[in-house]
Amino acid sequence: MSSYKTKSTLHVRIRNFVSWIAPPRETRDAIKIKSDEVRKCIKAEAEKDELTVVDMPYSGSFSTRTGLRRNMRGNTTTEGQDIDLPFVVKKDKETEFGPLIARFKKYAETCYPDHTIEATKSSVNIVFEKEKLTFDIVPMFESDKAQYQTLIRSNGDIITTSIEKHREFIRKRTIATKETTGIVSFNDCVRLLKWWRKVKEIETDENLCLPSFLINLLGAKAYDTCGDDTTYPQTLANWFSYLAHIVKNKEAIWFKDYYSTPKLDSYKPWNVLDPVMDDNNIVTSWAGYQVDELADWLQEASEIMNRAIVADLQGRDADSLAQMQLLFGTIFSSHCD
């Protein structure tokens, strides 16, 4: 289906909606100030405990500008952003990651005794209700290799990663998209995929849970292959159609940014490789039926998007809007004009 003008009703509606789900630019400075406060306090407690914090880089969707300012709660939304704060610790006598998480939980409780604090398998969450922020404190070990860190989860999984390279992987594509014709941006399309993901998880009672990292890689793969069209509707239609095809056929997803030969696991139904670490298949625990379900989700989204485009081209605004409510939830109609 050919592209059409950026003045189309559907394009404008999606553009307005993505502006509503994206964190406002004017809040970034306040978030950075709060982040620095949390960093300073947690680091001070760690140093009292004789740990050496060698780095506290920005990571995650805040640093790559692919995050959402709101979370879905059924047919309503709540304000709130998640901010990742890694703490890279120098290796010494500490060999077990579980106690390290417990120690950082203690630091958080000391710094913020009146806040909700919870340990997960790889982080400590601190909820700031007034600011509508949740900080994910992620303790990591410094790696022997420059720009790399080691994450050891509470279940024993050991993951070598590079915060900087993951951040640049997304930023590289966001920069590239700004050099093309039109106003569609890669990172905003990723935001739309993340919102669509939430709608589907709610509809299916979260039978299939798609982590944000997977959404980032699906978006990157679609962008690398399909590019970005001059309108949001056509870009999303192209992406959903392409992704439905490769997932249905269980084609491996990997990237040439940091390695040239993938280490595919032929015993797994599907491979989606970490763009930095070629031996990290992020869907290694997926069963075949889960891959098939994701393919069905993407195929459905492709069909909905194309029906919305046809209705828009034919001037049937109400029908086009109805399709977009199927894709992004009924709340789309309240924030697209």
| 192-225 tens-digit pLDDT | 999 999 999 988 876 788 999 999 999 999 999 9
SS3 of 80-102 = CEEEEEEEEECCCCCCCHHHHHH
Least confident of 87-101, 180-194, 229-243: 87-101
Out of 127, 146, 162, a domain closes at: 162
Cα distance between residue 106 and residue 103, in whole Å: 5
Q: Are residues 289 and 273 in the same domain?
A: yes
User: Looking up tokens 């106003």, which residue turns up?
Assistant: 183
Q: Collect all residues with Cβ–Cβ distance below 8 Å to 269 and sequence separation of at least 6.
A: 250, 286, 287, 288, 291
Q: Are residues 170 and 144 in the same domain?
A: no
Average pLDDT, the chain: 90
Out of 131, 162, 193, a domain closes at: 162
Which range marks the domain in which residue 30 is found?
25-162
Q: Are residues 207 and 270 in the same domain?
A: yes
What stretch of H or E contains 185? none
Tokens of 19: 């502006």
Amino acid at the residue 29: D
Q: Are residues 261 and 311 in the same domain?
A: yes
Please choose, from the candidates 274, 272, 54, 36, the residue with its C-alpha nearest in 3D space to the C-alpha of residue 147. Answer: 54
Share of the chain above pLDDT 70, in %: 91
Q: What pLDDT sits at residue 189?
A: 96
Is 3 inside a domain boundary?
no
Q: What pLDDT sits at residue 75?
A: 53
pLDDT per position as a tens digit, 68-80: 886 655 455 566 7
| pLDDT above 70: residue 233 | yes
Percent composition of the chain: helix, strand, coil (DSSP 3-state, to 5): 50, 15, 35
CA distance readout (Å), 146 to 13, 56, 92, 143: 45, 15, 17, 7
Q: What is the CA radius of gyration of the chain?
A: 21
Q: Are residues 318 and 176 in the same domain?
A: yes
Please choose, from the candidates 103, 90, 297, 302, the residue with its C-alpha nearest in 3D space to the C-alpha of residue 202. Answer: 297
Beta strands in the chain (DSSP E): 53-55, 70-73, 76-79, 81-89, 116-119, 124-128, 133-142, 149-152, 158-161
Strands 124-128 and 76-79: unpaired
- List the CATH number of the domain containing 218: 1.10.1410
- List the CATH number of the domain containing 69: 3.30.460.90
What stretch of H or E contains 250? none
Q: What pLDDT sits at residue 2?
A: 47
Q: Are residues 74 and 157 in the same domain?
A: yes
Q: In degrees rounded to 5, what are phi and psi of residue 240?
A: -60, -40
Q: What pTM does this model have? A: 0.91
Q: Are residues 56 and 155 in the same domain?
A: yes
Is 4 inside a domain boundary?
no
Q: What pLDDT sits at residue 76?
A: 52
pLDDT per position as a tens digit, 24-68: 888 888 899 999 999 999 999 999 998 999 999 988 888 898 988
Please choose, from the candidates 153, 126, 125, the residue with its C-alpha nearest in 3D space to the C-alpha of residue 140. Answer: 153
Q: Are residues 153 and 268 in the same domain?
A: no
Is 1 inside a domain boundary?
no
Out of 113, 141, 162, a domain closes at: 162
Total tally of structural domains belonging to the chain: 2
Q: Are residues 128 and 154 in the same domain?
A: yes
